[in-house]
Amino acid sequence: MKHYEVEILDAKTKDKLCFLDKVEPNATIGEIKSMFHKSHPQWYPARQSIRLDPKGKSLKDEDVLQHLPVGTTATFYFRDLGAQISWVTVFLTEYTGPLVIYLMFYFRVPFIYAPKYDFTTSKHWVVHLACMCHSFHYVKRLLETLFVHRFSHGTMPLRNIFKNCTYYWGFAAWMAYYINHPLYTPPIYGEQQIRLALIIFLFCQIGNFSIHVALRNLRPPGKHTFSSVYPFLAQTHSCTCVTVVNFNHISSNYLFFPFLLLREGTRAGRCGKNHISQYGLFYITITMYIMICHSKVCFQLFSEKFDKNFISYLRRPGCPLLHVGPLEPKM
């Protein structure tokens, strides 16, 4: 059997890092990474990027040596991807933070609101309902991470977790601050708005879970790819978006919408770049259409609520905004 000789060079400096002799023709890139790791223990396989060209794409671990466009003496280029962290750890970190942070605001721990409100509870039942919905959502996410999801990649660069956690944790703190604030007022349309939003919230949670299970069944255990599925991609993302939207409908917290629209625009752009040829423009844009429709409704509701509260404030006796000119002392 003909064997291969594998030479691995640094992609930046072109220095020779490793030379592997008598490599089997059916050896995979993943196996070559393991051989390279024995020579350089500081670069474990997950942080290795092996490519045919210094500026080319990384080869997949499943690629077989004899199927690559190389001769019997193969030359590969190595790039260090940096410290890696498993995707399970990433998801657990991202979802545990919002759960804990929201509860801190809900219980009004010290140094968040005025001292007189420490460890007090809201008098509005919708605040407690919002806490249950938020907690249920993230407990569901944590359980799905442990028992449902199958990841296409084993790890992610460690530096990215700070960016991801900033979004999830910061978004949770932003919502929780206003919803659990001592001066919070219930939704303007009362129980009708709350009940409708709660029904849609629960429907989307069930739909999102069922689709995650369906996607899991499409990926065989130990495999990194799954067959194409057209409706599920858009439905999974849309259910998640509408879930967040209706959670904020429940509590009448509309200040989050500019931030959420920015996030959805970024995701839609990324999806368009990677999947528009495979899934079609319709499935890429449907989420943005839903978000724009919701934003119009929420802007109207927020405007009506603001106008109502602002007019009530103006009608208060002695309101400084209605007084023009210097104050005159009473005789």
Residues of the chain with pLDDT below 70 are 1, 219-331
Q: What are 243's two structure tokens?
A: 């879930």
In a domain, residue 274? The reply is: yes
Round to whole Å and give the CA distance between 244 and 269.
20
**Do both 250 and 286 map to the same domain?**
yes
pLDDT tens across 172-184, in order? 999 999 999 999 9
**Do both 146 and 244 map to the same domain?**
yes
**Do both 132 and 268 map to the same domain?**
yes
Q: What are 186's two structure tokens?
A: 């219930």
DSSP assignment of 104-147 equals HHHTT-TTSS-GGGTT---S-HHHHHHHHHHHHHHHHHHHHHHH
Q: Which of 283, 206, 304, 305 is nearest to 246 (CA)?
A: 206
Provide the 10 A C-beta neighbour count for residue 65.
20
Round to whole Å and give the CA distance between 234 and 282.
9
**Do both 93 and 215 map to the same domain?**
yes
Q: CA angle, corner 178, sides to 122 and 302, nearest 5?
A: 115
**CATH classification of the domain holding 19:** 3.10.20.90
pLDDT tens across 125-178, in order? 999 999 999 999 999 999 999 999 887 777 889 988 998 899 899 989 999 999
Total tally of structural domains belonging to the chain: 2
19 and 52 Cβ atoms separated by less than 8 Å: no
Which domain does 21 fall in, by range? 4-80
* pTM (two decimals): 0.70
